[in-house]
Structure 1
C-alpha cells in the first residue's frame, strides 16, 4: 500500500519518497521555505515539532538550512516531564540535533518545567508559551501506531479536554496509557492553528494506522482531528 491508495480528504495533500533520507531532506527544505517566508513577511517565525527518534534526520537536515534563524522560535508539540538532561527529553533531543549549525541562533521555548506536580508543570508551560508567535507558522507532527499525535493519546484521562476545539489552555498534562509516563502536550486548538501543518510518517504500519483513523473518531485515534486542510502528509516506505 502507498499513501496514494488512502481515501484522504481531497484538501489533504500527500507526498511519497523512496526512503527516509530523501524525505528528511525534502521536509527540511519545505519547512525552511515556510519559515523564511514568515520571517520575510512578519519579521519572525515560529516552528513547533515533535520529538522521538524518527525526526532526527529531519532535524539535522533542517539545522543546515540557511535563513535568519535568530528570528525563529522553536518549540515542541509535547514533552516528557523529565529533566532536559534525561535521555527521554524532547528538548534535549532538539538541542543535540536541531539547535546546531545555522539553526544554533534560533530561540528555544521548551515545555519542561520544574514544578511540584505535573498539573503545575503543564500550567507553567502554557504560560511560557505566551511568548511563542501565534498562530504557529509551521507545525510538524508525527504519529504513533495507536493513532496518537503530540501526546494526545487514546484513553488518556485529559484527552477530551485536550481535543476540545474551544478549549483555552495551551498545554495540558497527559499520560501514555500503554506505557504510563507523565507528559505535557500542546492542546488541539493551539496545534491546529498552525498556518503550515505537516504530518511525517514512515512505513506500511503507519499507513494502516492512518487508514483506520479515517473511519474513527478523534477520541479513538486523535490524529483524526488533524486530517483536514491545510495538512500535508510526507511518507516513505
Structure 2
C-alpha cells in the first residue's frame, strides 16, 4: 500500500482545522463539477473538532448530502448516536443547510426498513469526499474484525449498507459497505495517538483484510491520505 499518502501535524487542533480546510476545498470542487456533493463522515469523539471546524466553511451546503460512515442502532437522540454527533457538530453555522441522510429505522423491524434505507443512500452515491476513523483494532466504519457479517460487508457485491454485530458491542450497527467506501472519489483517514499510529503501521503491512478491515480502504483505487497527530 505504498500509494497511501501520510500527513503528520504538530498538534490535534492543527490537524482538525487543516483537514477541514482541505475537505471544504474538495467539496467545492465536486460541487463545481456536478452542482451537488456527497460527504461521508465518521462518528465517535475524535472527529468532533474536525466536524465543528468544517461547519464554518463557506460553500454551497444546501447542495451537500452528508452520510454517516456507520451508525449504532440506538435512538437518534441517544448520546451514542452518530447522527446526533453530526447534527451537533457539523450541521450548524454555515453547514446548517446540509442534508443528513440518517440510518435510523422508522419501523419496529430493522429488516423491514433496511432496503428502503439502502435506496436512500444509493441516490446520493458515489461519495465525493470520505473521512474515516480507525480503531486500534484496525476497524473502520463498522467493519470490525471478528464480526459475523464482515465477509458480507467486504464482498464486491455488498449492498450499500450492512447490518453488523461487532464482538462485545451492546447494539448492532449499520455500516457503509467496503464497496461503497472504496468507490469514493477521495478518502481521508483521521487518526490520533500512538496506539493508532502503531495500528496503522500494522495495517499497511501485508496481511488479510479480515484481520485489519481498514486495509480495504487503504487499498482503494482513489487517492487515500492518512492524517495524524499525537
| TM-score bracket, shorter-length normalisation | over 0.9
Quote the offset at 1:120 in angstroms: 3.5
Change (3 A) 1:20 1:225: same
Give the structure 2 partner of residue 171 of structure 1. 161
Where structure 2 has 5 or more consecutive residues not aligned to the other structure, the ranges are none
Q: Does structure 1 retain, via aligned residues, the 8 Å contact 2:7–2:228?
A: yes
The answer on 1:83 being equivalent to 2:46 is no
Which is further off, 107-116 or 191-200? 107-116
Aligned ranges for residues 149-188 of structure 1 at < 5 Å? Answer: 149-164=140-155, 166-188=156-178
The number of equivalent residue pairs is: 227
Q: TM-score, normalization: structure 1?
A: 0.92
Quote the offset at 1:124 in angstroms: 3.2
Quote the offset at 1:150 in angstroms: 0.3
Change (3 A) 1:163 1:68: same
Change (3 A) 1:119 1:209: farther
Q: Distance in 2 between matches of 1:83 and 1:93?
A: 12
Q: Distance in 2 between matches of 1:149 and 1:160?
A: 14
Where structure 1 has 5 or more consecutive residues not aligned to the other structure, the ranges are 1-8
Q: TM-score, normalization: structure 2?
A: 0.95
Q: Does structure 2 retain, via aligned residues, the 8 Å contact 1:201–1:235?
A: yes
Give the structure 1 partner of residue 195 of structure 2. 205
Quote the offset at 1:74 in angstroms: 0.6
User: Which of 5, 21, 32 is the aligned partner of 1:29?
Assistant: 21
The answer on 1:235 being equivalent to 2:228 is yes
Give the structure 1 partner of residue 130 of structure 2. 139
Quote the offset at 1:217 in angstroms: 1.0
User: Which of 183, 187, 203 is the aligned partner of 1:193?
Assistant: 183
Q: Distance in 2 between matches of 1:121 and 1:149?
A: 24
The answer on 1:16 being equivalent to 2:46 is no
CA-to-partner distance for each residue in 1:51-97, whole Å, 9 max, x for gaps? 00000000100000011111111111100011111111100111111
Which is further off, 216-225 or 118-127? 118-127
Quote the offset at 1:168 in angstroms: 4.0
Q: Does structure 2 retain, via aligned residues, the 8 Å contact 1:63–1:99?
A: yes
CA-to-partner distance for each residue in 1:6-63, whole Å, 9 max, x for gaps? xxx3311110001111000001001000000011111110000110000000010000
Other structure's SS at 1:219 match:
helix
Quote the offset at 1:131 in angstroms: 2.4
